[in-house]
Amino acid sequence: MLTWKRVFKTPPTVLTVVGMAKNVGKTVTMNYIQNMLYAENRVMGLTSIGRDGESFDALTNLKKPPVVVLPGTLVATAEKAIVDWAKWEHLQDTEVTTSMGKIVIVKAKENANVVLAGPSKNSQLRELWDSVKGWGADCMLIDGAFDRQSAADPAVSRQVILATGATLSRNLQELVNRTQARVEQLTLPKCEAKYQVLAQQYQEKAIFINESGNTKAALTTLLLSEKEWQKLLSEPRKVLILKGAIGEGLGEALVKAGNTPVVILDNGSKLFLPAATWRRLMLKGVQFYVRQPIELLGVTINPTFPGGEGLEPDTLLREMGEALHPIPVADIMREKLYA
């Protein structure tokens, strides 16, 4: 069995497992990580960002693996998600509610399958971490829905593990390229302290720094069209300080802009740029920084494709490992680590 120390090195705190698509092995990764930490006698908390997952895949109708909780694990989930109460010790009702009712803190008496139905707000996740920590947890796993990368926000989760695989693409090079682009976005470096100060001084979502000084833009969203961003970038900009999610509109506008400003974001989870757009930005030399870096612990791969031909496992592990080095890459199902 792979061990936590061998694969990830850094001790666990609050970590999120995020999938790049459905069926890339996120739940398998969650279960394996639980076993890793259980072997080290860690007391784990477990929750999710919203509810991700059905018992059967909507496209293939194949049964999906359940989240299997080990004895002593603390779980924060909606009360209605608990089916067999005989397997659980009820510890606490919380003030956090979901579409499935209030969230409760329970403790597993034995091995048990569980549906994780957690909150949708980052502030509520932080509240639940305080609760499970109060019941003795020294780390917490968050099941991050593949389409909610806000779960990777370092304001909530200090660490991230990314799951990728053949359902994202059955073309090996495309899969590697798309995963590499996402890894680069999630691991952007921290900006200079002076930009941290500027971001705190202004409430606006966008601050433009020119030769002549600072300009504030009264924007309600950063998810503008390419043309809207082109207007805002028509004047030479040295630095853009942006608060919020960034979409393809800004990406395309930056590709075509006459100048190449430095872009400073909250963190890498706020970037919603396709790999092709990201590559063009990198070739142009656009520099991205963040105010809150994300600690990406590692990447897990799933070479299988439900109901069809997947990728050759050893080739995928080697190609992904070489592309993402020095970030650890593991094939959890086969218990292999790229080294």
- Each residue of 20-45: pLDDT tens digit? 998 999 999 999 999 999 999 999 99
Angle (deg, nearest 10), helices 275-284 and 248-256: 30
**Sign of the four-CA dihedral 216, 218, 221, 226:** negative
Residue 157, C-beta contacts closer than 8 angstroms, at least 6 positions apart: 14, 15, 16, 125, 142, 144, 151
What the block records as the tokens of 145 is: 């829905």
Q: How far apart are CA 34 and CA 4, in angstroms?
A: 10
For 31, the token pair is 């279960």
SS3 253: helix
pLDDT computed for residue 147 by the predictor: 52
DSSP H helices, the chain, are 4-7, 26-39, 122-134, 172-186, 193-201, 226-232, 248-256, 275-284, 313-324
pLDDT of residue 148: 52
Residue 332 has pLDDT above 60, yes or no: yes
3-state SS, residue 229: helix
Could you tell me which residues are beta bridge partners of residue 247?
A: none
Compute the Cα dihedral for 67, 70, 76, 78 and give only its sign.
Answer: positive
Least reliable range by pLDDT among 77-86, 117-126, 196-205: 117-126
263-275 pLDDT, tens digit each: 999 999 999 999 9
CA distance 90 to 92: 6
Q: For 43-88, how does the pLDDT look when each residue is reduced to its tens digit (9 = 90+)? A: 999 999 876 544 444 444 445 578 999 999 999 999 999 989 999 9
DSSP 56: B
Q: What is the CATH number of domain 4-187+294-337?
A: 3.40.50
The number of C-alpha atoms within 13 Å of 174 and in the hemisphere containing its C-beta is: 9
Whether pTM exceeds 0.75: yes
Q: Residue 134, SS3?
A: helix
Contact between 136 and 21 (Cβ < 8 Å): no
Asked if 172 and 311 count as a contact pair (C-beta separation under 8 A), the reply is: yes
pLDDT of residue 180: 98
CA dist., res. 272 & res. 303, Å (int): 25
Looking up tokens 């990777």, which residue turns up? 152
Q: Is the pLDDT of residue 7 over 70?
A: yes
Give dist(CA 159, CA 151) in Å, integer: 10
